[in-house]
Amino acid sequence: MAGTPLARAEHFVWLTARVLEQRRFAYHFLGAAAEPVEAALTAYLNEDGGYGHALEPDLRGPASQPLHTAHALRVLDSIGRCGGLRAERICRYLTHVATRDGALPVIHPSQRGYPTAPFIPIVSDPPSELLATGPVVGLLHRNQVWHAWLFRATDFCWAAVDGLQKSHPYEIQAAVAFLDGVPDRSRAEEAADRLGRLVREQRLVVLDPGRSDEYPVAAGYAPGEYHYPHDYARVPGSLARRWFTDEEMDRSLDHLAREQQEDGGWPVRWRQWAPSTALEWRPVVTVEALRTLRAHGRVLR
């Protein structure tokens, strides 16, 4: 397929994406308004203030879930609409599904009975998880949202981050999302420095994409499910950007750009368990790949 990376991605999005990802692409890369993005997102909103209906494609069915709601928050944040009554309504839902210590589970038992990725187990009394809580708390703080639920959830995240000794890439990403938004910047920088050393010591990042197969894959991950510097430092202002040299970051971004496939989209690296999830995830991943490349100054046109 001829054309610039952006033109090829646009063709892929119009061909395969859900309305939400089409609207997001138009907002981020074609100068469209934010209102259609929010309107498309509203289709996933439930009466309890949470989001469902396979917004996060690995969880099918209508039930509101923390992962769906975190996905919705990221979309709202990306269009500058993460505040006011929207955020208040979401925080009420998060309060309702929070665990005893005020944090979020990865998956609420209300998902039981609906198709779910086999790598996301459903249990009756789910534990608190930094994986689910960190990105939500960091994002709400960054948008200066204040709610009673946030105080306990923030305390949980600090304890979880401070206690990390051995981790895996997605948990580290969640920690970074928390640290990038939390108000106590000096404490966040100190914690991020420690996590950066942990990531390198435990080889949780591929620093040379040309030698990816020499790096370990985390337990439970799919074959080839590696993480690169750009996966941790999505934007130059992230605390995780300090973990990598300019050369390491350039190699990572070069690799990300090369991953664009012949049809214009980017691949999904984690395990695909149903045809619908593979189809719905690729446009999401494609929009995020383009946003990451552009944030780091890469020319897309």
Q: What is the pLDDT of residues 27-37, one digit of tens each?
A: 999 999 999 99
Return the pLDDT at 42. Answer: 97
Return the pLDDT at 2. Answer: 67
- For residue 116, the cross-strand partners are 59
Return the pLDDT at 226. Answer: 97
Return the pLDDT at 165. Answer: 95
Return the pLDDT at 301. Answer: 80
How far apart (Å, rounded) are the C-alpha atoms in residues 238 and 143? 15
Averaged pLDDT, groups of 10, the chain, 301 residues long:
89 98 98 98 97 97 98 98 92 96 96 96 96 98 95 98 97 98 98 98 97 95 97 98 98 98 97 94 98 96 80
Task: Provide CB contacts within 8 A for 71, sequence distance 6+.
Answer: 51, 55, 56
Assess contact for 93 and 113: CB atoms under 8 A: no
Task: Tell me how far apart the terminal alpha carbons of the chain are, to the nearest angstrom.
Answer: 15
Return the pLDDT at 80. Answer: 96
